[in-house]
């Protein structure tokens, strides 16, 4: 049998220095990275973010500012890469799992998600994750993907690309008549009623960035499970979830929600390094997929290539993890982001986000001439508040707020709304200031 890459590297360890010796890299890097600070109060949390103090930031969900623990981890690991790129990547990527840096990322991410490390595929963002899922599914003519009118363009495009290649079809349905007055029962019933015998996949978005509504994923999963009881296992309906705007700001255990595939970037509400993400799925769900991008993370794939044979094991999260050289210091520093999230506490963060955004929604609802599109019910919303001002284009509203040093955003959909979103680095006083500025700008 040909010598595996991992076995080859083990023979090279004697030439490495203490930091890069086999079995020492991961421990040395983590020892050199400053520990997660105390985050007992929200003032301490806010101090971790180096946002421009001249502005009030209410679009933090767009792409994260790196908090201090993440920034420190990036710099520590970047320094090591710059000083010895070959040995760092070789030992960090292809050593035993005890020293494998991607394995460490999977380990801390799994602790937060409530799953297992081997269930996590590392990606660069939600878009990549969705493409890996849909293009990896063995769809065929006569089958369909059911999605909603409310999903982001990249979700719809991933579905379209997969159907164009496979000959399957897709269909979009509305989940509610009015987002602000939607109910969980209405949403679940619309999905259940739309399923046809040909439906093979249901694709939904956990928290919509267009309206801020949060879907009841557990209830949707339960309804699909009931339908699947009448189907053969090979024809069961699979649930794909774009979870990026729920992960990190909702108190939910991803591995228990009932999704078959859950894709999310970690550079939004988790405050991970920019350009990082993941897909979670159980082993049987990964086994259904066909790899789309060659992997650097799956030793079996490499050894099968060396030996000129097919892989002997099913598709796995490692095999689906895109290979190619990447910004490893960012991927590996995701460890610090999940550690910070764990230190703050998922339920505590979710309660803070809900309270601040509840304050925004209450303020918006009290203003004449404003239509709030996000449900006020905290079980059907998260950290994005969408609204319209009568007689004003959303872009004009956002521009008027920016003139007052308040950063808001618009939703990039056919129906455009203005958005305010409070994060853990915001305060009640900032929320009141933003609402006051909006009130005067529309008076």
In DSSP notation, 165-232 reads HHS-EEEEE-S-S-GGG--HHHHHHHHHHH--TTEEEEEEESB-TTT-BB--HHHHHHHHHHHHTTS-
DSSP three-state, residue 390: coil
Residue 78 lies inside a defined structural domain of this protein:
no
Continuous segment of H or E residues that includes residue 101: helix 101-113
Residue 205 lies inside a defined structural domain of this protein:
yes
Tell whether the model's pLDDT for residue 365 goes beyond 80: yes
Residue 401 lies inside a defined structural domain of this protein:
no
Buried b (16+ CB within 10 A) or exposed e, 206-245: bbbbbbbbbbbbebbbebbeeebeeeeeeebbbbbbbbbb
Q: How confident is the model at residue 17 (pLDDT cuts 50, 70, 90)?
A: very low
Residue 269 lies inside a defined structural domain of this protein:
yes
pLDDT at site 11: 39
Share of residues in the chain with pLDDT > 90 (%):
90
Number of folded domains that form the chain: 1
Tell whether the model's pLDDT for residue 97 goes beyond 80: no
Tell whether the model's pLDDT for residue 243 goes beyond 60: yes
Q: How confident is the model at residue 21 (pLDDT cuts 50, 70, 90)?
A: low
pLDDT at site 7: 47
Residues spanned by the domain of 301: 111-343
Residue 208 lies inside a defined structural domain of this protein:
yes
Q: CA-to-CA distance for 4 and 2, rounded, in angstroms?
A: 6
Residue 184 lies inside a defined structural domain of this protein:
yes
pLDDT at site 9: 41
Q: CA-to-CA distance for 431 and 58, rounded, in angstroms?
A: 9
pLDDT at site 23: 63
420 secondary structure, DSSP code: E
Tell whether the model's pLDDT for residue 6 goes beyond 80: no
pLDDT at site 22: 54
pLDDT at site 18: 42
Residue 282 lies inside a defined structural domain of this protein:
yes
The CATH number of the domain where 310 resides is what? 3.40.640.10
**CA torsion, ordered 305, 310, 314, 317, to nearest 10 deg:** 20
Condensed to tens digits (0 to 9), the pLDDT of residues 146-203 reads 999 999 999 999 999 999 999 999 999 999 999 999 999 999 999 999 999 999 999 9
Are the C-beta atoms of residues 303 and 294 closer than 8 Å to each other? no
Q: CA-to-CA distance for 15 and 412, rounded, in angstroms?
A: 53
Measured between its terminal Cα atoms, the distance across the chain in Å is: 77
Lowest mean pLDDT among 63-72, 96-105, 255-264, 339-348: 96-105
Q: Angle CA(13)–CA(96)–CA(312) in degrees, nearest 5?
A: 125
Q: What share of the chain is helix, strand, coil (3-state, %, to 5)?
A: 45, 15, 40
- What's the rounded mean pLDDT across residues 353-379? 97
For the beta carbon of residue 41, count every other beta carbon within 10 angstroms: 9
- Quick one: tokens of 59? 């679009």
Number of H helices, E strands in the chain: 18, 13
- What's the rounded mean pLDDT across residues 67-71? 98
Tell whether the model's pLDDT for residue 20 goes beyond 60: no
Continuous segment of H or E residues that includes residue 305: helix 299-306
Q: Write down the pTM of the prediction.
A: 0.95
The distance of Cα 72 from the centroid of its chain, to the nearest Å, equals 22
β-partners of residue 172 are 147
């Amino acid at each position: 049998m040909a010598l595996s890459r991992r076995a080859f590297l083990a023979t090279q360890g004697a030439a490495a220095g203490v930091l890069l010796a086999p079995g020492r890299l991961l421990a040395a890097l983590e020892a050199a990275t400053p520990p997660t600070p105390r985050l007992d109060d929200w003032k301490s949390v806010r101090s971790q973010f180096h946002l421009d103090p001249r502005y009030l930031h209410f679009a933090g969900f767009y792409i994260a500012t790196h908090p201090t623990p993440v920034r420190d981890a990036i710099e520590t690991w970047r320094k090591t890469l710059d000083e010895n790129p070959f040995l760092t990547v070789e030992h960090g990527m292809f050593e035993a799992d005890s020293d494998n840096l991607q394995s460490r990322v999977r380990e801390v991410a799994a602790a937060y998600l409530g799953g297992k490390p081997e269930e996590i595929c590392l990606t660069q963002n939600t878009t990549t994750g969705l493409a890996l899922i849909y293009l990896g599914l063995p769809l065929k003519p006569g089958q369909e993907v059911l999605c909603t009118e409310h999903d982001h363009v990249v979700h719809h495009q991933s579905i379209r690309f997969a159907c164009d290649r496979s000959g399957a079809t897709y269909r979009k349905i509305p989940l509610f008549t009015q987002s602000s007055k939607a109910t969980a029962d209405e949403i679940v019933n619309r999905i259940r009623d739309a399923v046809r015998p040909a439906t093979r996949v249901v694709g939904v978005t956990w928290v919509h960035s267009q309206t801020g509504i949060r879907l009841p994923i557990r209830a949707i999963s339960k309804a699909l499970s009931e339908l699947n009881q009448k189907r053969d296992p090979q024809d069961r309906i699979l649930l794909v979830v774009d979870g990026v705007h729920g992960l990190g700001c909702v108190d939910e255990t991803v591995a228990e929600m009932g999704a078959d595939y859950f894709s999310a970037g970690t550079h939004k509400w988790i405050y991970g390094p920019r350009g990082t993400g993941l897909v979670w799925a159980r082993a049987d769900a990964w086994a259904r997929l066909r790899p789309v991008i060659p992997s650097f993370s799956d030793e079996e794939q490499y050894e099968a290539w060396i030996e000129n044979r097919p892989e002997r094991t099913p598709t796995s999260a490692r095999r689906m993890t895109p290979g190619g050289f990447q910004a490893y210091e960012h991927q590996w520093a995701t460890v610090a982001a999940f550690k910070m999230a764990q230190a703050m506490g998922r339920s505590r963060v979710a309660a803070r986000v809900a309270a601040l955004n509840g304050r925004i929604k209450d303020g918006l609802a009290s203003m004449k001439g404003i239509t709030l599109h996000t449900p006020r019910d905290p079980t059907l919303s998260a950290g994005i508040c969408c609204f319209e001002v009568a007689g004003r284009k959303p872009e004009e509203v956002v521009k008027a707020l920016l003139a007052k040093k308040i950063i808001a955003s618009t939703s990039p959909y056919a129906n455009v709304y203005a958005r305010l979103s409070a994060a853990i680095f915001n305060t009640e006083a900032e929320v009141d200031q933003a609402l006051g500025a909006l009130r005067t700008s529309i008076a």
